[in-house]
Amino acid sequence: MGNNTMIISVDGHAAPPMEAYRPYLEKKFLPAFEEQLAAHARVSIDFFLFFDPVVVDPWKKKLYDTGIINGRWDADLRVKELAAEGIVAEVLFPDGAPFGAAGIGHERVYSPPDEQLAGGRAYNRWLADFISAHPQRFAAQGIVTLCDIDEAVKDVYWCAEHGFRGLVMPGVENDVPKFWDPVYVPFWKACEETGLVLNFHGGIGFSPGFGPQIEGVPMEVRIRVGTMEFPFMAHRPLWWLLWSGVLERHPGLTLVFTEQHSDWVPSVLAKMDHSYQFGKYRDDIKKVVPRLPSEYWKRQCYTGSSILSRHDLACRHEIGVNNMMFGADFPHPEGTFTNTTHYLQATVGVNDMPEDETRAFLGGTAARVFRFDVDALAPLVAKTGLDIDTIRTPLPAQFESEFTRTDVLRPA
């Protein structure tokens, strides 16, 4: 491995063109699926609709015009292109699924529960085939629907049996029981037994009529509202699961909060710890939650730090050096593709991160959380990995003016 470092991206998106799901769907759902296709119902984010041309035009040139975007469903192409960026393995999320299953993104389709369940299972079947070409390189995250807990438990075991490492968790939806409801106990137990990670990705939990779903409001307004609200919606599962005692009762659960920034964690934990220790409310909460909230975070929670800012890493000791993991977000326009080295120099490098912290953030922690085989990845790291001293060098001055990643400069 030499001086190269293992980079595992904990935020990547994979999915085929929508019509490719036909053989993966149960036959009884095909008529409804064909209706959705005919209506061109949007089931994933249309970046060209709301991103500035300054962002999407270079992205189109780099990924669409070259055909690299086909890495969403071509596993061989995907691993080849990511290896050129020094990335040897990925955690995979959906990038569109039948009937809006998974609920990632503000353009999700709200279909009946039985259709969402069928759509999620179709995606999972496709993903199982996708990862089979390079099983050591991918940690698949299966879609799970919580409208029927018995069916959700079945999906947990199916995903575990097919080599998946985690689940794409829905947000706090209005039409299902809240996470503290006892109905979830069999689901939590199944996740503990299988070791599947509960992954909360940015963009979950929007309800119809709220945030970017507001009708009659111009897109330029809606997207700004959604930008303010999406992190909060994705954060909510933390305090719901923590204050309700779920993390206490199920210490084997692992939570990951991906693509929703990371610098929110210190202030939230400080407020929760203060409420726990010095709050004006009754002290009975200590019977439900006998530890400081920050202790549960340290023990069971992680950030998937894509759309990373310099300040996120400046807060790394408050978040937990071993509770943060890097995400490249391939193939989305806010991802690092074709610019990973400069991106890391502009974040890791300017923060003067020691070598051990850098290695943990870029791959070591992800390997442990998502159970990657480090020995199997070592030859690829030695061949294509990025030099750690280069990463730890601040972005050279001559590139500062050319560096367009404004998220790096996002204020706390």
Give the pLDDT of residue 245: 98
Give the pLDDT of residue 206: 74
Q: CB under 8 Å to 108, separation ≥6 — which residues?
A: 43, 100, 102, 206
Give the pLDDT of residue 212: 63
- pTM: predicted TM-score of the whole model, two decimal places: 0.95
Q: Catalogue the E-assigned strands of 107-165.
A: 138-143
Cα atoms found within 13 Å of the Cα of residue 218, Cβ hemisphere only: 2
Q: Helix, strand or coil for residue 7? A: strand
Q: CB under 8 Å to 168, separation ≥6 — which residues?
A: 93, 94, 102, 104, 141, 142, 143, 144, 199, 201
Strand partners, 139: 91
Domains of the chain: 4-409 (3.20.20.140)
pLDDT, one tens digit for every residue, the chain (412 residues): 569 999 999 999 999 999 999 999 999 999 999 998 888 765 667 787 778 888 889 899 999 999 999 999 999 999 999 999 999 999 999 998 999 898 775 555 678 999 999 999 999 999 999 999 999 999 999 999 999 999 999 999 999 999 999 999 988 877 789 999 999 999 999 999 999 999 999 988 776 666 666 778 887 888 888 888 888 889 999 999 999 999 999 999 999 999 999 999 999 999 999 999 998 888 899 999 999 999 999 999 999 999 999 999 999 999 999 999 999 999 999 899 999 999 999 999 999 999 999 999 999 999 999 999 999 999 999 999 999 999 999 998 888 777 777 889 888 7
Distance of alpha carbon 65 from alpha carbon 59, whole angstroms:
9
| Cα dihedral: 176, 180, 183, 184 (round 10) | 90
Task: Report CA-CA distances (Å) from 18 to 33, 37, 44, 249, 277.
Answer: 10, 8, 10, 40, 51
Give the pLDDT of residue 262: 96
Give the pLDDT of residue 110: 75
Find the helix or strand (DSSP H, E) in which 166 lies. strand 166-168
Q: Helix, strand or coil for residue 391? A: helix
How crowded is residue 411: how many other Cβ atoms within 10 Å of its Cβ?
7
Distance of alpha carbon 248 from alpha carbon 242, whole angstroms:
8
